[in-house]
C-alpha cells in the first residue's frame, strides 16, 4: 500500500535521514518527499511511503515519532496511481488551454480539488456559484469571507501566526474575470507551499479562462 506521512521535523542536519531510517526499519520505502513549510526552527515534510503490510502503519507512526523532536501530523492511505500535486497543476493548465469554453469551469473545479487534495472546491462570482465539487460552505458565507480576505498574505498559514485566515482552506481571486476560487478539506491543515502553489496556479487560470466560460451553473 501507499501512504502519505506528514511530519514535523527539527530544522537540523540529519533529521530527515533519521526519519527515513525509521521508516526503513519497518520495511517501508520512501518514494517521494515534498517540503511543505520551513521556519521557526522546524520543517514540515510530506512523504510518500510504500509499505508491504498495512498492519505496519501504527508501528511506522510509533517509530517515526520516536525520533527526537519529530512529530507525525497526519497519515493516510493514497491510491497507487495518485499524481503529484505539481503535475496536477500542470495538467490543469494544459486542460484549460485545450478544452472548449463551456467545459472550463467544471474542469477547473475538479482540477483545483486535485491540486489541493481537497474535499470541496468552488468557483464564485460574488455570491453566485458557477461551478463546484463536493460540499462547499454556503455561498453567502464564502463570498463574505473572500471579500474580506483581500488583505491576507498568500503563502502564509494560520499556524504561522498573524491574520492569515482558516488553516483548512485555500482561496484566490481571479481579477481579470472577477471570479474567486476556493477549496477546503476537513482532515488536515494547509501549509505554506500548498498556499503558494494555489496562488500561482490562480494567476495561470485567470490568464487561460475564456470569458465565454463565465456562465451560471445549471
Q: Tens place of pLDDT for every residue, the chain, 218 residues?
A: 899 999 999 999 999 999 999 999 999 999 999 999 998 899 999 999 999 898 999 999 999 999 999 999 999 999 888 888 899 999 999 999 999 999 999 999 999 999 999 999 999 998 899 999 999 999 999 888 888 876 665 544 433 444 455 788 999 999 999 999 999 998 788 998 999 999 999 999 999 999 998 865 44
| Residue ranges of domains in the chain | 2-78, 85-213
Distances (CA, A) of 211 to 4, 59, 99, 170, 194: 38, 53, 13, 23, 27
What is the model's pTM? 0.83
User: How many Cα atoms within 13 Å fall on the side-chain side of residue 134?
Assistant: 20
Mapped onto helix, strand or coil, the DSSP state of residue 49 is: strand
How far apart CA 152 and CA 95 sit, in angstroms, is 29
- CATH fold, domain 2-78, is Alpha-Beta Plaits (3.30.70)
Q: Is the fold of 2-78 the same as that of 85-213?
A: no
CATH 3.30.450.40 describes domain 85-213: yes
Amino acid at each position: 500500500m501507499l501512504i502519505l506521512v506528514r511530519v514535523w521535523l527539527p530544522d537540523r542536519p540529519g533529521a530527515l535521514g533519521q526519519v527515513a531510517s525509521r521508516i526503513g526499519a519497518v520495511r517501508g520505502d520512501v518514494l517521494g518527499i515534498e517540503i511543505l513549510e520551513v521556519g521557526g526552527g522546524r520543517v514540515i515534510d510530506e512523504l510518500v511511503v510504500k509499505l508491504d503490510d498495512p498492519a505496519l502503519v501504527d508501528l511506522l507512526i510509533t517509530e517515526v515519532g520516536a525520533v527526537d523532536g519529530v512529530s507525525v501530523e497526519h497519515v493516510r492511505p493514497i491510491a497507487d496511481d495518485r499524481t503529484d500535486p505539481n503535475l496536477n497543476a500542470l495538467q490543469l493548465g494544459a486542460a484549460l488551454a485545450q478544452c472548449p469554453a463551456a467545459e472550463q469551469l467544471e474542469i477547473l473545479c475538479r482540477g483545483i480539488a486535485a491540486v489541493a487534495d481537497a474535499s470541496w472546491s468552488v468557483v464564485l462570482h460574488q455570491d453566485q456559484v458557477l461551478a463546484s465539487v463536493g460540499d462547499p460552505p454556503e455561498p453567502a458565507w464564502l463570498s463574505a469571507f473572500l471579500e474580506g480576505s483581500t488583505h491576507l498574505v498568500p503563502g502564509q498559514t494560520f499556524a504561522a501566526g498573524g491574520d492569515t485566515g482558516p488553516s483548512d482552506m485555500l482561496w484566490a481571486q481571479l481579477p481579470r474575470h472577477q471570479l474567486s476560487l476556493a477549496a477546503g478539506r476537513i482532515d488536515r491543515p494547509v501549509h505554506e507551499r500548498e498556499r503558494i502553489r494555489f496562488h500561482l496556479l490562480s494567476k495561470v487560470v485567470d490568464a487561460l479562462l475564456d470569458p465565454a466560460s463565465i456562465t451560471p451553473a445549471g
